[in-house]
Structure 1
């Protein structure tokens, strides 16, 4: 039985890897199940053994990338609660997002991929919860409540500004061109920018930081559970 499970896992992994490369190269709309099966070295029917349609396969693929991102963020904050401080969380989120090539393709403009990921109401809600604006809207009130962001400016304005900074740095740091002369560490520039923007003048104590980290980890775990549910719904056979 274990050998059968391992065989299924290897086949599913090949299909997912092949689908990812084809979507990145050609876009979600131009990729077919036949192309995916040929690239993976399996029969077309084998693809349908795991996923009912190409759309389900691509949704499941994107969800797996998103799951890896959630796991990385949760692990980082669990290991060091101080990572919830805005000047440390912003680079963490951007670095993690840079590892999601499908996410970068989505933001750079792939209307068919966007359609596939948002055609179901539940999927729309999930992806809306994971974009930079939603992250800022969900996380900053927690940080504010525990004293991890400054309180001399309106929270809504700080949230909007942080969202704009994240979007700008994500686009710039993901661009093929290198950073301009004199900028050796763009992540450090991002950290300094966010610190200037929202960090309080007096850093909070460890207790407040740990309490904020616990709430934020719970928030991300809730998103992670929703991503797992999407993966389960997108597949016929679990590898």
Structure 2
């Protein structure tokens, strides 16, 4: 990496970090490019060197958080296919979502952030694919097809139940004080709940787990590629 490229990368990283903190503190609607540039220690023109607008910057910021989540999920499932078993996959997604700062803003109901993420048709489609409910709807049929979840309930009902549990869990985890006394590991509670809801009592066959893992990784990679495209589109052409 040349010195010039390294300097540009450090500046872009400072801008992203400053924008993230401001959005977390004040919400997407109240943050301005001037505030972001001051917090990052650069001029407004430098922000526009990397992103055409505040909206593009925030969309790119959210996409980077989502990219981190997807890359971790892909790596974990690739290294250990049994990670796709619901009692392991649900806590993994919850842990990574907890570490995605802008996900907390979405969970708290930042309507301006939702608006920014759904302005463009392509962004709306990506946001819809990446929501927990959509992930459940995509992953659950794969798990059912390979016999990794029970088939004594309608698939739509199972997907709805898992999404409801995961969504409620995320709301609680984003506010750690909501865990009652005596709950030492909320993620273990989530794993047990999901297992009781939809998994077979006996361990599945390894070939079925491997086949399901391959399909689920392909789904995650497809969403990841769309996220990378969003990041490219959010930046100025000169980069």
Bin of the TM-score, shorter chain as denominator length: over 0.9
* Aligned residue in 2 for 1:159: 159
Q: Name the SS for the 1:177 alignment partner.
A: helix
Quote the Cα distance in structure 1 between the aligned partners of 2:144 and 2:10: 45
CA separation in 2, counterparts of 1:176 and 1:169?
11
> 5 Å matches for 1:56-205?
56-177=56-177, 179-205=179-205
Instruction: Quote how far apart the aligned CAs of 1:203 are.
Output: 2.1
Q: Do the aligned partners of 2:106 and 2:113 also contact (CA within 8 Å) in 1? A: yes
Runs of 4+ in structure 1 off by over 3 angstroms are none
Shift of the 6–148 alpha-carbon distance from structure 1 to 2, 3 Å rule, reads same
Would the aligned equivalents of 1:151 and 1:200 in 2 still touch at CA under 8 Å? no
Distance in 1 (CA, whole Å) between partners of 2:168 and 2:106 is 15
Distance in structure 1 (CA, Å) of the matches to 2:196 and 2:214:
25
Q: RMSD in angstroms over aligned alpha carbons?
A: 1.1
- Confirm or deny: 8 A CA contact 1:148 1:199 kept in the other structure: yes
What is the CA deviation profile of residues 209-236 of structure 1, one whole-angstrom value per residue up to 9, with x for unaligned ones?
0010000000000000000000000001
Helix, strand or coil for the counterpart of 1:151?
coil
Q: Deviations over 1:49-106 (max 9, x none)?
A: 0100000000000000110010011111111100000011010011111011111111
Q: Is the 8 A contact 2:149 2:199 kept in 1?
A: yes
Unaligned 5+ runs, structure 1 = none
Distance (whole Å) between structure 1 residues aligned to residue 37 and residue 188 of structure 2: 43
- Return closer, same or farther for 1:236/1:229 CA change in 2, 3 Å cut-off: same
Q: Give me the whole-angstrom Cα distance separating, in 2, the residues matched to 1:79 and 1:168.
A: 29
CA-to-aligned-CA distance 1:171-207 (integer Å, 9 cap, x gap): 1111141521121111001000000000013321111
Show structure 2 runs of 5+ residues with no match. Answer: none
Aligned positions, number: 239
Separation in structure 1 between the aligned mates of residue 91 and residue 101 of structure 2, nearest angstrom:
17
